[in-house]
Amino acid sequence: MISSDSTLTESQVQVIPVSEPSSNGDLPPSEERFVLPKATVPRPVPEGANLKHHSLYFNQELSWIDFNWRVLHLALDERTPLLERVRFVAITASNLDEFTQKRVGGLKRQEAAGVRGLSVDGRSPGEQLVLLRRAILTMHQTMTETWEKSLRPALLEQVDVEICDYEQLSAQEQESLHTYFKTQIYPILTPLTVDPGHPFPFISNLSLSLAVILEHPQLGTTYFARLKIPPKRWLPCPVQEENGAPLRLLPVEQLIARHVDELFPGMNVVSVHPFRITRNADVARDEEVADDLLSMISEELRERRFAPVVRLEVAREMPDYDRRFLRRGLGLGVDDVYEVDGLLDLTDCFQIADLNFPAHKYEAWEPVVPYRLRHEGETKDTQDIFAIIRQGDLLVHHPYDSFGVSVQRLVEEAAADERVLAIKQTLYRTSDESPIVKALMQAGESGKQVAVLVEVKARFDEANNIEWGRMLENSGVHVAYGLVGLKTHAKTTLIVRQERDGVRTYCHIGTGNYNSKTAHLYTDLGLMTSDPVLGLDLVNLFHSLTGYAPQQNYQKVLVAPRNMRSRFNRLIEQEISNQEQFGNGRIVVKMNALDDKGIIRRLYQASQAGVQIDMIIRGHTILRPGLPGYSEKIRIVSILGRFLEHDRIYCFHNNGDPLIFSGSADWRGRNLKRRVELIAPIEDPRLKQQMIQLLEDALKDNRLAWDVDAEGQYMLRYPEADQGVREIHRTLMKRAQKRAKKNKI
């Protein structure tokens, strides 16, 4: 059990060198260190500052940039398999795209509207934009250099994959690709020219384009044309000079640029350069006056597509004339332009990372079947999943435990079971060809009472969720589309079943979405239970979601915005009281991000009272740990690796009788105020011990873990000379395999 006086193992905190890989793949070499740039710039704390003072908080946006540096570090780290390093470059680029759309776009809207309110750390929107531009430029440059100078050469050296330029092609390859251009690419290209009869064209969000400057040979007049690049980015060179030659891939924009003159006969091509735009995704809508939520969201999608441009990425060699023309056409300032000295749009590196070279990827992992579910439903004599859950609560931890044979099977069996009377579920994000949705449709078509809360405001998944909702409705499912003013982020399923002794409820309460694909990549927890009190709580929750019951009461679960904040406040205050009475106040939590000021102030108060607080936070935090007089007892660690840390656990020492909770919410303002969230207590002693062990594994990690100090500097842990490597993902994979072989949990 995590005791009140347990401490993190003292570890040598240092960061990895880029230039020199470790000799044994895990331990650090020599004394050379590579220090990640730090975006966070906290303000000095004045003497006597109260707990609301802006100097006690990190800037949320800059803290997120620091999180993305830790993602990029996985691409820099030569201990990471090569194709996974390529993937982490693509993830970094994709993260940065989303951040620019949402956060930079939102700040630009605030600045344009004259918003004078300050961030929690006391900065105006304009001040934050200045700091963010500087931080994003540095990250963008490092990301591109990593691809161009490190990963691209390594692909040729280690995998025999050459990302080549057009000039490197042989005459045979050039001729063959020219034929491909004429037959496969030329017909689908649509050049859009700007002249008095043709206004500046609409350019879609995150699309890669070519800016073409043309000149009329007789008139001497200059024209601009835009060419959108087709989605197939990498072209394999069809002619190999010899057997065993490397796979050669050419970026398609280079082939188009080389033959662009064929699209404009009679004109001189002055210049051709790639560019890419990012549009604002922070579209504000007033739900209170929307007659139809679906119509409002559909309109928001259209508005986002045509939203203002907030970033223009251009090739460094693009001439000033071309840049000025693009800036004028897009309504941008000089600071909105980002030069790229290399390949534009590194999100396409996902395609390279997916190449079939298993030796250069993480070792394949197949989620295990939990022991209690191993023979579930195999024959008429073996127990079905409902009988197994009746015997005791089951905790599944994905991707270590199989999603398909646990959560997915629960829904599928419920859909097919004649005794099941009703199925109710929340859907926030799900996968294409979702087996969960298919099961719900099957249940609806068979006449069961099926109710699904489809959250159409799930950012960037709105269109998919609208389509899922319509398909479910067509199958006879009762579909609700969220609540006005709140986003439903809870992850839960309620099954009502007629049994010999009466009606019984079965519940799944999780930390992640009902997505069979991300269940292989994200670490998420799910509680499967037939606890009647939890069942009644979920009945009341769904009555509130599909009906109208703002004052609904709950006996065990924590529901935001109804009672979650107040319950967490009381739990923190109880640890303060325990510290004062028994000297053993202790809090250990694991979440994705932390930015709720009210919760943070109470954590500061707990630290001042002597409560030891350990926080495992993957993403951003605005709490400054280790500040003398304020947060000396608070330590924060961030873990990033092959799996995305997505599970949430809240553990309160409670004078030796731990109270443990898990569910959908982080300690963020949006989770506690503006979303419907669900947290459930973990009460089975076996499962509580499993949760405590998981927290201890995270706190002991010395391979993927980063410690952050009061100034916002993250430092990667390494084992000391006399320590072994403790990597949480490896540890949990091994433990899952052992657990599946034994009759445990």
153 and 131 both lie in a single domain: yes
On the question of pLDDT at 436 being above 60, the answer is: yes
On the question of pLDDT at 90 being above 50, the answer is: yes
Task: Determine how many CB atoms are found less than 10 A away from the CB of residue 91.
Answer: 22
The residue segments making up the domain with residue 520 are 371-551
316 and 378 both lie in a single domain: no
Q: In degrees rounded to 5, what are phi and psi of residue 135?
A: -70, -40
Nearest-CA neighbor of 735 among 342, 397, 279, 441? 397
Mean pLDDT, residues 296-307? 53
pLDDT at residue 542, as a whole number: 94
Inter-residue contact 129 to 111 (CB < 8 Å):
yes
> Would you say the C-alpha torsion 71, 72, 78, 80 has a positive or negative sign?
positive
On the question of pLDDT at 706 being above 90, the answer is: yes
User: What are 506's two structure tokens?
Assistant: 């079965």
Inter-residue contact 70 to 714 (CB < 8 Å):
yes
Inter-residue contact 660 to 671 (CB < 8 Å):
no
pLDDT at residue 9, as a whole number: 32
- Using the 3D structure, point to which of 360, 386, 420 is the last residue of a domain: 360
On the question of pLDDT at 654 being above 80, the answer is: yes
Q: In degrees rounded to 5, what are phi and psi of residue 714?
A: -90, 135
Give the model confidence (pLDDT) of 576-587 as tens digits: 999 999 999 999
Which DSSP helix (H) or strand (E) runs through 174? helix 171-180
Q: How confident is the model at residue 304 (pLDDT cuts 50, 70, 90)?
A: very low
- Residue 42 falls inside a structural domain: no
163 and 197 both lie in a single domain: yes
What's the rounded Cα separation, in Å, for the pair 204 and 453? 31
Q: Which residues pair with 226 in a beta bridge?
A: 192, 211
pLDDT at residue 225, as a whole number: 94
On the question of pLDDT at 607 being above 70, the answer is: yes
Mean pLDDT, residues 181-195? 93
What's the rounded Cα separation, in Å, for the pair 127 and 115? 12
379 and 432 both lie in a single domain: yes
Mean pLDDT, residues 226-250? 84
On the question of pLDDT at 324 being above 90, the answer is: yes
- Pairing mode of beta strands 714-718, 12-13: antiparallel
Nearest-CA neighbor of 256 among 206, 325, 318, 209? 209
On the question of pLDDT at 363 being above 50, the answer is: yes
What's the rounded Cα separation, in Å, for the pair 318 and 273? 6
> Would you say the C-alpha torsion 259, 260, 261, 263 has a positive or negative sign?
positive
- Residue 68 falls inside a structural domain: no
Q: What is the mean pLDDT of the chain?
A: 89
Interior CA angle at 352 toward 348 and 355, to 5°?
145
pLDDT at residue 550, as a whole number: 72
- Pairing mode of beta strands 714-718, 522-529: unpaired
Inter-residue contact 594 to 568 (CB < 8 Å):
no
What's the rounded Cα separation, in Å, for the pair 502 and 698? 43
pLDDT at residue 376, as a whole number: 77
Q: How confident is the model at residue 244 (pLDDT cuts 50, 70, 90)?
A: low
Task: Determine how many CB atoms are found less than 10 A away from the CB of residue 260.
Answer: 19
String of DSSP letters for 225-291: EEEEPPS--EEE-S--SSTTPPEEEEEHHHHHHHTGGGGSTTSEEEEEEEEEEEE-------GGG-S
349 and 375 both lie in a single domain: no
User: What are 103's two structure tokens?
Assistant: 């956060």
Show the 3-state SS of 425-463.
EEECCCCCCCHHHHHHHHHHHCCCEEEEEECCCCCCCHH
What's the rounded Cα separation, in Å, for the pair 641 and 634? 23
Coil, strand or helix: which one is 613?
A: strand
- Residue 87 falls inside a structural domain: no
536 and 579 both lie in a single domain: no
Nearest-CA neighbor of 171 among 241, 233, 234? 241
Inter-residue contact 464 to 481 (CB < 8 Å):
no
pLDDT at residue 721, as a whole number: 82
Query: Structurally, how many domains does the chain consist of?
Result: 3
494 and 600 both lie in a single domain: no
Q: Which CATH number is 209's domain given?
A: 3.30.1840.10
Coil, strand or helix: which one is 695?
A: helix
Give the model confidence (pLDDT) of 108-158 as tens digits: 989 988 988 999 999 999 999 999 999 999 999 999 999 999 999 999 999
Percent of the chain scored above 90 by pLDDT? 76
Nearest-CA neighbor of 479 among 423, 519, 420, 526? 423
Active-site annotation, residues: 489
> Would you say the C-alpha torsion 312, 59, 36, 522 has a positive or negative sign?
negative
Inter-residue contact 40 to 712 (CB < 8 Å):
yes
Sorted by sequence, the CB contacts under 8 Å of residue 46 that are 6+ apart come out as 53, 55
Q: Which CATH number is 27's domain given?
A: 3.30.870.10
- Residue 489 falls inside a structural domain: yes
User: What are 188's two structure tokens?
Assistant: 């689908």
pLDDT at residue 34, as a whole number: 53
25 and 156 both lie in a single domain: no
- Using the 3D structure, point to which of 551, 570, 586 is the last residue of a domain: 551
Inter-residue contact 273 to 288 (CB < 8 Å):
no
Inter-residue contact 346 to 72 (CB < 8 Å):
no
251 and 400 both lie in a single domain: no
Coil, strand or helix: which one is 555?
A: coil
Scored b (16 or more CB within 10 A) or e, 143-152 reads bbebbbebbb
On the question of pLDDT at 36 being above 90, the answer is: no
Phi-psi region of 194 (alpha: psi -120 to 50; beta: other; left: phi over 0): beta
574 and 545 both lie in a single domain: no
Nearest-CA neighbor of 547 among 453, 444, 411? 453
Q: Looking at per-residue confidence, does 196 or 725 come out higher?
A: 725
Task: Determine how many CB atoms are found less than 10 A away from the CB of residue 546.
Answer: 16
Coil, strand or helix: which one is 7?
A: coil
Residue with tokens 């007089």: 629
- Using the 3D structure, point to which of 316, 334, 360 is the last residue of a domain: 360
Sorted by sequence, the CB contacts under 8 Å of residue 107 that are 6+ apart come out as 61, 125, 128, 129, 132
- Residue 471 falls inside a structural domain: yes
On the question of pLDDT at 543 being above 60, the answer is: yes
Burial of 423: CB neighbours in 10 Å, binned 0-12, 13-18, 19+: buried
- Size (the chain), residues: 745
Q: Which residues pair with 594 in a beta bridge?
A: 621, 667
pLDDT at residue 153, as a whole number: 97
- Residue 217 falls inside a structural domain: yes
- Residue 46 falls inside a structural domain: no
What's the rounded Cα separation, in Å, for the pair 511 and 491? 6
C-alpha of 722 from chain center: 35
- Residue 179 falls inside a structural domain: yes
503 and 623 both lie in a single domain: no
Inter-residue contact 603 to 687 (CB < 8 Å):
no
Q: Could you give the C-alpha distances from 141 to 138, 162, 339, 344, 635, in angstroms and in order?
A: 5, 22, 9, 11, 31
463 and 567 both lie in a single domain: no
